[in-house]
């Protein structure tokens, strides 16, 4: 990775990944793109171009203009929004992906795109979900992720594009908010905890999903992309998870640092249905064995850091 093009750079992952890659590879070597510009550090700390990922011609022009050797394709609609607009989701998620893969093929770039625990479905084994298993998702997002994994593998086998991917769990961060996901409750809960010491969850107690703190997710992307290609048996995509909890467990962890924190429930049937169709916890053994996946944050360590960072961000009084 020497010159990297990122799509969806102002989204939840992109906002932080762009900054990390600029630190590692030099600000001028990381070209951030998104459909709109905002006033964030990500948009102004290095090259930025407006790009709608369904515009194949413009994507190719930008890749050639900056002579990129790596494409990180992040632009996508998440699970809950994709259920509201399924045709739009198909066009954006699959149209954007094939454009990005074609661009990588033409300019001979290495390629990364995230998959998700959403690629699994109700017939997938729920516990210790294996790397290679039944994948019959019942959401448009999941259908896009499975098709995307297969398409990225196809570009590797057919055209020799060095495609790699991760099946991300819910990602938790204090920098940019996620939008339209099913796991978003696990981010919102921290914002409400520091501001109001209570949270009404749209996901029911007893519903377990995999999660990961953003610093671990960013390290995983860099480690996978830097991994020796000859060691990779899998490519698209690797199971990766750092923890699994239900709303009661994350609330209990928050209450250790914000005494008196309370959770109650107003379950959203649609996002609950999606959550119940996903695994309880996935097995990351293949990622550990093939490229050394590791993580630093468990639930309590993440909770402590999230509360500290959000308290600073909103200039609130320290809890306790
Ligand atoms: C979502 O909830 O849609 C995402 C994901 C797990 O892919 N956070």
pLDDT tens sequence across 66-75:
999 999 999 9
The residue to mutate among 171, 203, 217, having the most atoms of ligand 1 within 8 angstroms of its beta carbon, is 171
The residue nearest atom 8 of ligand 1, judged by CA position, is 170
* Phi and psi at residue 200, to the nearest 5°: -100, 115
Query: Ligand 1 atom 4: the closest Cα is on which residue?
Result: 181
Average pLDDT over residues 265-278: 98
Strand pairing class (4-7; 70-73): parallel
Confidence at 320, pLDDT banded by 50, 70, 90: low
CA of 28 to the centre of ligand 1 (A): 30
Q: 170 in ligand 1 pocket by Cβ < 6 Å?
A: yes
Distance from the CA of 300 to the center of ligand 1, in angstroms? 21
- For residue 269, the CA-to-ligand 1 centroid distance in Å is 16
Residue 232: what are its φ and ψ, rounded to 5°?
-85, 115
Which pLDDT value is given to residue 254? 98
> Which structural domains are found in the chain, ordered by start?
4-169+213-239 (3.40.50.720), 170-211+242-282+297-313 (3.90.25.10)
| Residue 244, pLDDT above cutoff 80 | yes
Average pLDDT, the chain: 97
Whether the CB-CB separation of 111 and 117 falls below 8 Å is answered with: no
- Ligand 1 pocket member 116 (CB < 6 A): yes
- Of 25, 66, 141, 185, which one is the catalytic site residue? 141
Give 61's contacts (C-beta < 8 A, 6+ positions apart).
none
pLDDT at 316 over 80: no
- Once rounded to an integer, what is the mean pLDDT over residues 89-111? 98
The single residue listed with the structure tokens 């896009």 is 144
Expressed in angstroms, the distance from the first to the final Cα of the chain is: 44
Distance 66 CA to ligand 1 centre (A): 31
Q: Which of the four pLDDT bands, split at 50, 70 and 90, describes residue 318?
A: confident
141 included as an active-site residue: yes
Are 226 and 25 within 8 A, CB to CB?
no
For the stretch 35-56, pLDDT in tens is 999 999 999 999 999 999 999 9
Query: Is the CB of residue 148 below 6 angstroms from any atom belonging to ligand 1?
Result: no
Is residue 189 predicted with pLDDT exceeding 90? yes
Pocket of ligand 1 contains residue 11 by CB under 6 Å: no
For residue 104, give both structure tokens.
Answer: 């990588």
Confirm or reject: Cβ of 118 under 6 Å from ligand 1: yes
Distance, in Å, from the CA atom of 231 to the CA atom of 281, rounded to the nearest integer, reads 25
Assess whether pLDDT exceeds 80 at residue 89.
yes
For atom 7 of ligand 1, the residue with the nearest CA is 116
Closest CA to 211 of 239, 187, 242, 250: 242
């Amino acid at each position: 990775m020497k010159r990297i093009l990122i799509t969806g750079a102002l989204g939840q992952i992109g906002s932080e990944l762009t900054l990390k890659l600029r630190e590692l590879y030099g600000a001028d070597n990381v070209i951030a793109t998104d459909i709109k510009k905002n006033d964030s550090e990500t948009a102004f700390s290095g090259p930025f171009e407006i790009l709608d990922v369904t515009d194949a011609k413009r994507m190719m022009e930008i890749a050639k203009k900056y002579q990129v050797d790596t494409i990180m394709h992040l632009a996508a609609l998440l699970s809950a929004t994709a259920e509201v607009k399924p045709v739009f989701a198909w066009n954006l998620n699959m149209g954007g992906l094939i454009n990005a893969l074609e661009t990588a093929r033409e300019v001979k770039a290495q390629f990364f795109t995230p998959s998700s625990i959403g690629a699994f479905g109700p017939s997938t084994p729920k516990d210790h979900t294996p790397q290679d298993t039944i994948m019959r998702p019942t959401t448009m997002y999941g259908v896009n992720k499975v098709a995307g994994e297969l398409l990225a593998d196809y570009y590797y086998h057919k055209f020799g594009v060095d495609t790699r991917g991760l099946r991300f769990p819910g990602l938790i961060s204090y920098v940019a908010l996620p939008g339209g996901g099913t796991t978003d409750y696990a981010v919102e809960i921290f914002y409400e905890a520091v501001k109001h010491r209570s949270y009404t969850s749209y996901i029911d107690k007893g519903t377990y999903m995999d999660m990961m703190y953003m610093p671990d997710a960013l390290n995983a992307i860099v480690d996978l992309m830097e991994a020796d290609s000859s060691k990779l048996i899998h490519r698209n995509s690797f199971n990766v998870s750092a923890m699994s909890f239900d709303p009661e467990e994350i609330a209990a962890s928050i209450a250790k640092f914000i005494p008196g924190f309370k959770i109650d429930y107003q379950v959203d049937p649609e996002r609950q249905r999606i959550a119940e169709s996903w695994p309880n916890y996935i097995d990351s053994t293949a990622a550990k064995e093939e490229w050394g996946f590791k993580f630093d944050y468990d639930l309590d360590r993440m909770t402590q850091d999230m509360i500290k960072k959000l308290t600073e961000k909103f200039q609130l009084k320290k809890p306790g």
